[in-house]
Amino acid sequence: MTSGSKTAVPPPDMLLPGATLGVLGGGQLGRMFALAARVMGYRVVVLDPDPHSPAGQVADVHLRAAYTDAVALMRMAELCQAVTTEFENVPARSLEILARRTRVAPSPHVVELAQDRLHEKACAGEFGCETAPYVNVEDAGDLVHAWARLAGPGLLKTRRLGYDGKGQVRVVDLDTLVEAHAALGHVPCLLEGLVPIEREFSVVLARNAQGEIAFFPLAENLHRNGILDMSIVPARLPEAVAAEARQMARRIAAGLHYVGVLAVEFFLLTDGRIVFNEMAPRPHNSGHYTLDACVTDQFEQQVRALCGLPLGDTRLLTPVVMVNLLGEVWTQGPRWEALLRHPGVKLHLYGKAEARPGRKMGHYNCLAPSLEAALDLALETRRALGIG
């Protein structure tokens, strides 16, 4: 070492490879987080009650217990220097218990906020985002008032636990609203007005505790039966729209002092307005294209944000279309040769033992020199797999 040179000393709040990271949740998002963390040299502890969970299969330690199990939470806090979550419906109380003993990101407060559609939409409004018109429905006594306020067709959505098209029913009059509320179990709901949508898209970003924010390229999302079918990247949006959406997402992330990967879903309306739909305090299905098409993928970015590291480069290396693989593909047996004969197709399976209709079993990314070629490849391979 030459005279006067210094050894770089990492900040005290930076967790370096060799540390142990925890994840609450054992699904595919936890699996991909665990794989990214282990590639980077971290140990991983997963807490999930399923002994065959996809994330548990690749973890160093799998705590097979309920998310509310006090002994398991204490063990996780002892083992882990930092803990994150792979889905927003983990009990916020469990995150609060962990946060008293170790680093937790995103914060229990933000996760709890995202668990309730009413609070989530109110939060978006506070940060200057327009939403579709909505009315709170606490119980059956609110239905007549809610329908009078909305005065038109809409979607009745449960305030909690709805995802992938579940927990929502389209209504066209007061009678169907009453029936829908009963079908949803008379739980608190939002009645949300329909808006004229031209495109659906998402902004996936990461923010670390130092306030650094990095955006991934926007994804244009196509759904079938309420479940994401394909994500097209780069999204076919005017740059002015993309820039405005990034600013909206930035305000939300900064305003919440968010740490981690955050996905914010938007609608572009036919009149050019941008409307907030919902947010997910975690990596997102629409960000899976980053695994093959970006310098840094969303799961490595999640590790970086959790550990207080500088965020990675999010440049798009190639146009890409991500295609979801649902359980229906397994009905006749997947024809993997129809995918793997294409050199631009990258297959990702989640290690789930049982295929069920509507269940996300994997995805694949179609890479090509142009967006048109990537989309053609996605459509060709979908047909070959029997995806309608």
Strand order in the sheet with 134-137: 134-137, 189-193, 154-158, 168-171
**Using N-to-C axis directions, what is the helix angle for 174-183 and 143-150, rounded to 10°?**
130
Mean of the pLDDT values across residues 203-222?
A: 97
Backbone torsions φ then ψ of 341, nearest 5 degrees: -75, -10
Burial degree of 83 (CB within 10 A; 0-12, 13-18, 19+):
buried
Average pLDDT score over the chain: 93
Q: Mark residue 225 as left, alpha or beta (left: phi above 0; alpha: psi -120 to 50; beta: remaining).
A: left
Give the tens place of pLDDT for each residue, 51-84: 999 999 999 999 999 999 999 999 999 999 999 9
Q: Residues 318, 220: contact at Cβ < 8 Å? A: no
* pLDDT tops 50 at residue 212: yes
Q: How far apart (Å, rounded) are the C-alpha atoms in residues 88 and 108?
A: 10
**Binning pLDDT at 50, 70 and 90, where does residue 140 land?**
confident
| The pLDDT of residue 167 | 79
Place of tokens 């960000």: 287
| The pLDDT of residue 64 | 97
Q: Cα angle vertex 78, ends 77, 79, to 5°?
A: 95
| The pLDDT of residue 88 | 83
| The pLDDT of residue 37 | 98
Place of tokens 């054992």: 26
Give the tens place of pLDDT for each residue, 16-42: 999 999 999 999 999 999 999 999 999
| The pLDDT of residue 142 | 85
**Binning pLDDT at 50, 70 and 90, where does residue 163 land?**
low
CA distances from 182 to 8, 29, 151, 364, 384 (A): 62, 33, 20, 38, 41
| The pLDDT of residue 101 | 96
List CB contacts of 275: < 8 A, sequence separation 6 or more.
129, 130, 131, 132, 195, 266, 267, 269
Q: Are strands 168-171 and 189-193 parallel, antiparallel or unpaired?
A: unpaired
| The pLDDT of residue 5 | 44
Give the tens place of pLDDT for each residue, 94-125: 999 999 999 999 999 999 999 999 999 999 99
Domains of the chain plus CATH, in order, are 20-104 (3.40.50.20), 133-193 (3.30.1490.20), 197-384 (3.30.470.20)
C-alpha closest to that of 20 among 58, 52, 46, 53:
46
Give the tens place of pLDDT for each residue, 178-198: 998 999 888 999 999 999 999
